[in-house]
C-alpha cells in the first residue's frame, strides 16, 4: 500500500507578495539556475579536459620510472636523479610501483628539485596496496586515493618479467585548477546576480509604472462614497502602449470608469428629479389635504341633524386626511434631508428627551410594559431637538404597533466613550428575516399580522426617517432581531462637557 504524505506549502511570509517582487525574484531564480548550469558545465568540462590531458601525459611517460625500480638502484652512471629510480624526464610527483603476484615490491615518487632527501621510496598502507593490486593491467587510466600521497591518476601495465608496472601522476594540479575556476565562477556569478537583481528591480519597476498608476487610481475610486449623491471620479489612469498587456488593462479600466461615471451622473440626475418631485408634490399637497380636513371637521360641527352614515364618513375623511397630512410631512422631511438641508445644531438633553418620549408612548400604549434604564448623569448631544424627538417617537411607535399587548419594551440610554448609545428593545415576535436587510428603506412595511392595531400599519416611512435623521446627526442606527428579541440601536456623537 502506498502512503502519500501531505505536502507542506511554503509559509506565505516567505513568498513575495507584490507582482514587482515576484517578477524580480523569478528573474533572479532563472538567472541563478542559468549561472549554476553554466558553472557546473564549465567545471565538469574543465575537469574532464585536464583529466584527459593528464591521461595523455601518463601515456607519454610510459613505464620507464616503475621499470627502473626493479634494479634496486644498480643503474648506469648516466641516470639522472636518485640512485633508486630513473627520474629522467619525469615530472615532480610522478608515482611508480612494481607489483609481483599482487604484492607491491617497490613504490617510489619523484621528489621536487629542492627536496632534502634522496630517498624516493613511499610507505604504502595496506589499503593503498590493495587498491593498487585491484587495478586491471589494461593500460587505461584510473583514479585511486593513496593515503600516503593523495588523489592520483594511475595506469597499470603488464611488465616483461610477469610483474605489473604502475605509473601515476598527481591529480592535485587538476583539482587546484578546478577549485580556482569554481571560486572565480562563484564570485563572478554572485556579482552578476547582485547587479542583475538591482537592474532587474529597476527595470520591472519602470515597466510596471502604468500598472501602479492604474492601481493608485482604483484605490482613489474605492475610497469615494458612491452610494448616493454627486460623485466626482478622479482623473483617468495615464495611457500606456495599447499593444502591451498593461496598456490594454489601463485602457479597459479607463473605459470602465467612463461607464461608471455616466451611470452615476444619470443616477444622480434621476435622484435629483425624484427629490424635487417629492418635495414639490409634498409641498403642493399640504394645502388641499389641510383644506379637506378642515371642511370635514367643519361639517362635523354642523348643528343640524346629520345621518349617522354621513357622520361616520366625515369622521373617516377627517382621520384619513390627518393621516395623509402626516405622510406628506414625512415625505417633505425626507426630501429636505436628501437635499442636505442643515438641521439645528444645539445642545440637546437626550435623557430628558427619552423621558418625554417614553411618557407619551406609555399613554399611547397602556397595554404594553414600558421600562427605562437611564444613567445617573444627563447625556447631552448636539443636534435638532425636534428631529431627535421624532426619532425616539418613531422607534417607540414601531415597538408599540408591531408587538402584541403585554410586550415588554425597554429603553436604555448610556455613554460609551464619546458616543451616546440609545437602545429600544422589545420581547415581541421580532422582525421577519426577509425584511431586516431593507428595514430602514422607504415604504418598507412588516407583515401586517405582526400589528395588533388595524390602523397602525403606517406607510413604511417611520424607520427611514429614523435612519435619515440619525445620519444627518453623523450617527448610525442598526437592528438585531430574532423571535423574542428585537433591538434598535442608535449611536450619536456625545457633546463634550
pLDDT for 443-497, tens place per residue?
776 554 444 443 344 567 788 888 888 988 889 999 999 999 999 999 999 876 5
Chain centre to alpha carbon of residue 435: 34
pLDDT at 455: 39
The residue that leads in pLDDT, 27 or 289, is: 27
Task: Yes or no: say if 299 and 314 are a contact pair by the CB < 8 Å rule.
Answer: yes
Q: Report the b/e string of 92-109 with b at 16+ CB within 10 A.
A: ebbbbbbbeeeebebbbb
Alpha-carbon distance 253 to 260, whole Å? Answer: 10
CATH topology of domain 346-493: Heat Shock Protein 90 (3.30.565)
Using DSSP's 3-state secondary structure scheme, residue 107 falls into strand
Q: Where are the beta strands (DSSP E) in 334-465?
A: 346-349, 369-373, 380-383, 408-416, 419-426
485 φ/ψ sector (left φ>0, alpha ψ -120 to 50, else beta):
beta
Task: Yes or no: say if 154 and 139 are a contact pair by the CB < 8 Å rule.
Answer: no
Using DSSP's 3-state secondary structure scheme, residue 53 falls into helix
State the pLDDT confidence band at 392, using cuts at 50, 70 and 90.
very high
What does the chain come to in residues?
A: 497
Distances (CA, A) of 439 to 322, 461, 488: 25, 10, 11
Task: Yes or no: say if 390 and 376 are a contact pair by the CB < 8 Å rule.
Answer: no
Using the predicted structure, report yes or no on whether residue 130 has a pLDDT greater than 60.
yes
What is the rounded average pLDDT of the residues 283-292?
A: 69
For the chain, give the percent of residues with pLDDT over 70. Answer: 81
Using the predicted structure, report yes or no on whether residue 373 has a pLDDT greater than 80.
yes
pLDDT at 283: 61
Using the predicted structure, report yes or no on whether residue 128 has a pLDDT greater than 50.
yes
β-bridge partners, 167:
96, 155
Using DSSP's 3-state secondary structure scheme, residue 154 falls into strand
Using the predicted structure, report yes or no on whether residue 14 has a pLDDT greater than 50.
yes
Alpha-carbon distance 224 to 257, whole Å? Answer: 13
Cell matching residue 75: 643503474
The residue that leads in pLDDT, 442 or 450, is: 442
What is the rounded average pLDDT of the residues 305-311?
A: 77
Using the predicted structure, report yes or no on whether residue 368 has a pLDDT greater than 90.
yes
Q: Rounded mean pLDDT of the chain?
A: 79
Using the predicted structure, report yes or no on whether residue 195 has a pLDDT greater than 80.
yes
Chain centre to alpha carbon of residue 330: 46
Using the predicted structure, report yes or no on whether residue 41 has a pLDDT greater than 80.
yes
State the pLDDT confidence band at 4, using cuts at 50, 70 and 90.
low
State the pLDDT confidence band at 314, using cuts at 50, 70 and 90.
confident
pLDDT for 335-353, tens place per residue?
777 666 777 888 999 999 9
Q: Report the b/e string of 167-190 with b at 16+ CB within 10 A.
A: bbbbbeebeeebeebbeebeeebe
Domain residue limits, the chain? 17-60+171-207, 62-170, 224-341, 346-493
CATH of 62-170, one of 1.20.120, 3.30.1150, 3.30.2170, 3.30.450: 3.30.450
β-bridge partners, 108:
96, 121
pLDDT at 83: 41
Percentages helix, strand, coil for the chain (3-state, rounded to 5) are: 50, 15, 35
C-beta atoms surrounding 136 within 10 Å: 9
Cell matching residue 476: 448610525
pLDDT at 71: 59
pLDDT at 279: 63
pLDDT for 218-277, tens place per residue?
777 777 777 666 667 777 777 767 777 777 887 887 888 788 778 877 777 766 766 666
φ/ψ of residue 151, rounded to 5: -65, 130
Task: Yes or no: say if 163 and 145 are a contact pair by the CB < 8 Å rule.
Answer: no
State the pLDDT confidence band at 424, using cuts at 50, 70 and 90.
very high
Query: CA-based angle 371:374:378, to the nearest 5?
Result: 150
484 φ/ψ sector (left φ>0, alpha ψ -120 to 50, else beta):
left
Helix (H) or strand (E) holding 266: helix 245-300
Sheet (strand 164-170) strand order: 103-109, 95-100, 164-170, 151-158, 141-145
Query: Identical fold at 224-341 and 346-493?
Result: no
pLDDT for 94-107, tens place per residue?
888 888 888 888 88
Using the predicted structure, report yes or no on whether residue 411 has a pLDDT greater than 90.
yes
Using the predicted structure, report yes or no on whether residue 369 has a pLDDT greater than 90.
yes
Helices (H), ranges, 150-244? 172-207, 209-222
Chain centre to alpha carbon of residue 57: 64
Q: What is the DSSP string of 414-462?
A: EEETTEEEEEEEE-SS---TTTGGGTTSTT----GGG-S-TT----S-H
The residue that leads in pLDDT, 120 or 96, is: 96
Using the predicted structure, report yes or no on whether residue 412 has a pLDDT greater than 90.
yes
Nearest to 207 by CA among 255, 251, 241, 254: 241
pLDDT at 78: 41
Cell matching residue 8: 507542506
The residue to which cell 608496472 is assigned: 165
Task: Yes or no: say if 153 and 168 are a contact pair by the CB < 8 Å rule.
Answer: yes
What is the rounded average pLDDT of the residues 360-371?
A: 91
φ/ψ of residue 303, rounded to 5: -75, -20
pLDDT for 52-76, tens place per residue?
898 888 888 887 788 777 655 433 4
**Identity of the highest mean pLDDT range in 42-56, 234-248, 307-321:** 42-56
The residue that leads in pLDDT, 411 or 234, is: 411
pLDDT at 161: 77
Task: Yes or no: say if 118 and 83 are a contact pair by the CB < 8 Å rule.
Answer: yes
State the pLDDT confidence band at 286, using cuts at 50, 70 and 90.
low
Torsion angle defined by CA atoms of residues 388, 389, 392 and 394, in that order, rounded to the nearest 10 degrees: -100
pLDDT at 413: 92
CATH topology of domain 224-341: Helix Hairpins (1.10.287)
pLDDT at 303: 75
The residue that leads in pLDDT, 39 or 3, is: 39
Alpha-carbon distance 99 to 252, whole Å? Answer: 85
Sheet (strand 419-426) strand order: 369-373, 408-416, 419-426, 485-493, 476-482
Helices (H), ranges, 339-424? 350-364, 385-401
Q: How many helices (H) and strands (E) are present in the chain, helices listed first?
A: 10, 12
Cell matching residue 134: 585491484
Amino acid at each position: 500500500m502506498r502512503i502519500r504524505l501531505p505536502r507542506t506549502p511554503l509559509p506565505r511570509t516567505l513568498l513575495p507578495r507584490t507582482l514587482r517582487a515576484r517578477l524580480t525574484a523569478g528573474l533572479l531564480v532563472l538567472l541563478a539556475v542559468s549561472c549554476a548550469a553554466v558553472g557546473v558545465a564549465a567545471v565538469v568540462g574543465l575537469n574532464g579536459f585536464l583529466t584527459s590531458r593528464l591521461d595523455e601525459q601518463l601515456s607519454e611517460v610510459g613505464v620507464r620510472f616503475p621499470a627502473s625500480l626493479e634494479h634496486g638502484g644498480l643503474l648506469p652512471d648516466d641516470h639522472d636523479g636518485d640512485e633508486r629510480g630513473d627520474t629522467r624526464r619525469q615530472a615532480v610527483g610522478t608515482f611508480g610501483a612494481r607489483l609481483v603476484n599482487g604484492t607491491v615490491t617497490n613504490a617510489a615518487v619523484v621528489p621536487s628539485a629542492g627536496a632534502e632527501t634522496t630517498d624516493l621510496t613511499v610507505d604504502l598502507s595496506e589499503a593503498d596496496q590493495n587498491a593498487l593490486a585491484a587495478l586491471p593491467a589494461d593500460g587505461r587510466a584510473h583514479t585511486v586515493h593513496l593515503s600516503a600521497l593523495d588523489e592520483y591518476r594511475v595506469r597499470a601495465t603488464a611488465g616483461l618479467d610477469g610483474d605489473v608496472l604502475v605509473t601515476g601522476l598527481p591529480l592535485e594540479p587538476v583539482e587546484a585548477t578546478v577549485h580556482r575556476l569554481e571560486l572565480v565562477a562563484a564570485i563572478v556569478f554572485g556579482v552578476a546576480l547582485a547587479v542583475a537583481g538591482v537592474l532587474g528591480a529597476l527595470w520591472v519597476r519602470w515597466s510596471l509604472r502604468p500598472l501602479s498608476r492604474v492601481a493608485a487610481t482604483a484605490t482613489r475610486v474605492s475610497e469615494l462614497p458612491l452610494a448616493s449623491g454627486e460623485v466626482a471620479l478622479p482623473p483617468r489612469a495615464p495611457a500606456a502602449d495599447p499593444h502591451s498587456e498593461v496598456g490594454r488593462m489601463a485602457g479597459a479600466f479607463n473605459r470602465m470608469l467612463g461607464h461608471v461615471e455616466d451611470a452615476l451622473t444619470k443616477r444622480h440626475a434621476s435622484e435629483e428629479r425624484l427629490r424635487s418631485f417629492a418635495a414639490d408634490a409634498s409641498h403642493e399637497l399640504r394645502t388641499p389635504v389641510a383644506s379637506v380636513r378642515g371642511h370635514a371637521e367643519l361639517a362635523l360641527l354642523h348643528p343640524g341633524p346629520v345621518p349617522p352614515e354621513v357622520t361616520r364618513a366625515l369622521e373617516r375623511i377627517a382621520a384619513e386626511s390627518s393621516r395623509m397630512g402626516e405622510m406628506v410631512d414625512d415625505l417633505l422631511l425626507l426630501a429636505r434631508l436628501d437635499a442636505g438641508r442643515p438641521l439645528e445644531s444645539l445642545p440637546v438633553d437626550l435623557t430628558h428627551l427619552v423621558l418625554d418620549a417614553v411618557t407619551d408612548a406609555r399613554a399611547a400604549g397602556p397595554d404594553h410594559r414600558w421600562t427605562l434604564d437611564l444613567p445617573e448623569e444627563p447625556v447631552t448631544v448636539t443636534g435638532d431637538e425636534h428631529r431627535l424627538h421624532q426619532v425616539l417617537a418613531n422607534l417607540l411607535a414601531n415597538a408599540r404597533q408591531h408587538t402584541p399587548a403585554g410586550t415588554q419594551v425597554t429603553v436604555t440610554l448610556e455613554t460609551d466613550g464619546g458616543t451616546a448609545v440609545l437602545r429600544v428593545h422589545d420581547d415581541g415576535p421580532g422582525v421577519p428575516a426577509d425584511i431586516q436587510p431593507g428595514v430602514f428603506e422607504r415604504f418598507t412595511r412588516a407583515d401586517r399580522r405582526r400589528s395588533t392595531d388595524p390602523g397602525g400599519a403606517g406607510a413604511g416611512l417611520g424607520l427611514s426617517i429614523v435612519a435619515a435623521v440619525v445620519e444627518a446627526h453623523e450617527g448610525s442606527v442598526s437592528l438585531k432581531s430574532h423571535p423574542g428579541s428585537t433591538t434598535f440601536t442608535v449611536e450619536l456623537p456625545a457633546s463634550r462637557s
